[in-house]
Amino acid sequence: MSSSQVGSPSVGAEAPASKAAQTPEARPVVVQTIDLAKRYKHGRIAVAALDGVSITIAKGEIIGIVGPSGSGKTTLLNLIGGLDRPSNGRVIVDGVDLGTLDEGKLADYRLKKIGFIFQFYNLMSTLTAIENVELPMGFANVPKAERGERAEELLKTVGLELRMDHMPDELSGGEQQRVAVARALSNSPSVILGDEPTGDLDSKSAKALMDLIWALRREKKVTFVLVTHDPIVVARCDRVYSIRDGKVLREIIPKTENAKRLSEEESLMMDTLY
Ligand SMILES: Nc1ncnc2c1ncn2[C@@H]1O[C@H](COP(=O)(O)OP(=O)(O)O)[C@@H](O)[C@H]1O
Ligand SMILES: [Mg+2]
């Protein structure tokens, strides 16, 4: 039932009742964290990497996560991505509480529901662009012929139809990151998680990557959660969570009064703490 509402901007009272969680604007919720906490023990000292984070992300949103080094950004991303388990609290993605999944099901979740992109692309250096994109489909047992076809289509989507048989070291940083985006899309995930995805890119490539992310949101309704300290990324997020000491300090909506009011402190943070 809820799938009929996918992408629908319509709000309100007439929206059909659905068991799937929705935001107040009646958009389906894709990611929800409830009182999420992660503690690490350093000898006898426990460090709270994450300390009670509750956030809700709707389908098709582009969300930024900013904060100083050590504030818990990567920990949050890893918990949403099922790479790690929380000490406390819950992560719910597409209505599934990750805490209920055993290791095998969690691996399946990472493979099929989540796409990952990283600062340094993390492509397999011995495989061509198209082979890199096919790889996660192989793990998901997609038949060989279908893999090739889909990888080709995805590389076209990211504008690399002329680079399919290139090795990663024959591609620019911006091109490698676009291969990584195509790879992240290969098993049609609900959410793409990026940890500093523009951290190694020049500003022109960073802008091009954000153009691509916007196009993917529009055309495929993919949801993005991007850890970043890049103003180019921040400016093009729908909402940004500013976190510090493992807690959400505030939520910023770029290009609004809210962001203008906060910009002095936030930009100070960008300049001095990252
Ligand atoms: N695997 C780990 N073992 C121990 N401490 C960790 C581990 N991962 C992160 N931490 C600690 O948790 C805090 C948050 O780390 P992290 O999420 O990586 O921050 P950020 O990505 O914002 O820089 C830091 O104090 C870090 O040292
Ligand atoms: Mg980090």
The SS3 assignment for 100 reads helix
Alpha-carbon distances of 109 from 22, 63, 138, rounded to whole Å? 21, 21, 15
CATH class of 59-82+103-273: alpha beta
Residues with CB under 6 A from ligand 1: 40, 47, 49, 67, 69-75
Contact (CB, 8 A) for 60 and 103: no
Q: Give the environment of ion ligand 2: residues with CB less than 5 A.
A: 73-74
Taking the model in full, what pTM does it have? 0.89
Token pair for residue 211?
């153009």
Nearest CA to ligand 1 atom 10: 49
> Which token pair is 96?
């599934």
pLDDT (0 to 100) of residue 256? 74
User: Which residues, given as ranges, of the chain have pLDDT below 50?
Assistant: 1-18, 271-274
